[in-house]
């Protein structure tokens, strides 16, 4: 994946400004403190929490990611595999619970990348 793109920052848990420092403290989204973030980037010093409540907007991104997962799962299970709707609902509920930490981290990274531009001079 190209290092200068926002996708690199999002999928590799990197600072959106320099793409060098880690965004979250732990690499694993399934650790006990999966949502704990660094205050600043260890490489460029970019502050991750822009203001109090900044990441409330990430809830909307999380909603969109879950809707996209739900529609994709619906298309596969109900339309392609002709499974029952109730089977789909329970599968989606289980998937949403299992993927919650991953989606939450992903939504924060997507949200901050809306507001912070990559700066190659910060390497």
Residue 123 confidence (pLDDT) above 80: no
Whether this model's pTM surpasses 0.95: no
Model pLDDT, residue 50? 87
Mean local confidence (pLDDT), 91-113: 96
Residue 1 confidence (pLDDT) above 70: no
| Residue 120 CB coordination number (10 Å) | 9
3-state secondary structure of 24: strand
Which among 22, 32, 37, 5 has a CA at the least distance from the CA of 113? Answer: 5
Mean local confidence (pLDDT), 89-114: 96
- The overall average pLDDT reported for the chain is 93
Reported as a single tens digit per residue, the pLDDT across 50-82 is 888 999 999 999 999 999 999 999 999 988 999
pLDDT band of 99, cuts 50, 70, 90: very high
Which among 10, 16, 24 has a CA at the least distance from the CA of 116? Answer: 16
Q: What are the start-end ranges of the H helices in 75-121? A: 85-98, 100-115
CA terminus-to-terminus distance, the chain: 17
């Amino acid at each position: 994946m190209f290092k200068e793109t926002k996708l690199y920052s999002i999928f590799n848990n990197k600072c959106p400004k320099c793409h060098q420092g880690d965004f979250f403290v732990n690499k694993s989204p399934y650790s006990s403190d999966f949502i704990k973030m660094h205050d600043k980037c260890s490489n460029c010093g970019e502050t991750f929490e822009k203001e109090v409540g900044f990441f409330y907007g990430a809830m909307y991104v999380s909603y969109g990611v879950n809707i996209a997962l739900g529609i994709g799962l619906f298309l596969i299970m109900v339309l392609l595999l002709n499974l029952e709707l109730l089977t789909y609902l329970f599968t989606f509920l289980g998937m949403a619970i299992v993927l919650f930490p991953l989606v939450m981290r992903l939504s924060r990274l997507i949200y901050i990348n809306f507001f912070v531009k990559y700066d190659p001079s910060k390497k």
